[in-house]
Amino acid sequence: MAELMENQVFRAFTTYAAIVVLKMVLMGPLTAYFRITRGSFANEEDVARKSEEEKKKLLKAHPDVERVRRCHQNDLENVVPFVLVGLLYALTGPELSSALLHFRIFTGCRLFHTVAYITVLPQPSRGLSYILGMLVICSMGYSVLNTVFLL
């Protein structure tokens, strides 16, 4: 593992993968924050100590909470493939400049996507950041396949 960490591409990958994974993990507490501040809970046990009338008010969906949950779901659908394909890509020995371009674009897209989703920026801002991030994953996947089939 120490030898692998001497590889600049692998170090760059671990840095950017850690950034997007941590961002994704922080969506959980953000969802909890929105649930608490909007008074919107999903489970009976979350409001167990409340009166029946209060329970009816609190056990409901709220648009802001659902927006954060959808953003988190979108992270799960994109960050996990980035980490898996990015790892394979880093292990194929790409040029550092190319790898950095892929990793930085994807990370920037995910950060912007979250800001666009949570602050409700007008489309196509969120959509474009999603598509660009997916293109990065596809580009890395193509590079991996191209490298493997040329061996």
Judge whether 28 and 72 are in contact, CB under 8 Å: yes
State the pLDDT confidence band at 16, using cuts at 50, 70 and 90.
very high
Better-predicted residue by pLDDT, 57 or 106: 106
Better-predicted residue by pLDDT, 102 or 3: 102
Q: According to the model, what pLDDT value does residue 12 have?
A: 98
Read off the tokens for 130: 């999603």
Q: Which amino acid is present at 54?
A: E
What the chain holds in terms of domains, given with CATH numbers, is 2-26+63-150 (1.20.120.550)
Read off the tokens for 44: 């009976």
CA angle 103, 27, 62 (to 5 degrees): 135
Range name among 10-14, 56-60, 118-122 with the lowest pLDDT average: 56-60
Provide the 3-class DSSP secondary structure of residue 92.
Answer: coil
Q: According to the model, what pLDDT value does residue 28 have?
A: 96
State the pLDDT confidence band at 58, using cuts at 50, 70 and 90.
confident
Environment class of 51 (CB within 10 Å of its CB; exposed 0-12, middle 13-18, buried 19+): exposed
State the pLDDT confidence band at 48, using cuts at 50, 70 and 90.
confident
33, 53, 57, 116 from 49: Cα distances, Å: 19, 12, 13, 36
Return the residue matching tokens 């396949």: 145
Better-predicted residue by pLDDT, 40 or 97: 97
State the pLDDT confidence band at 151, using cuts at 50, 70 and 90.
low
Q: According to the model, what pLDDT value does residue 6 have?
A: 87
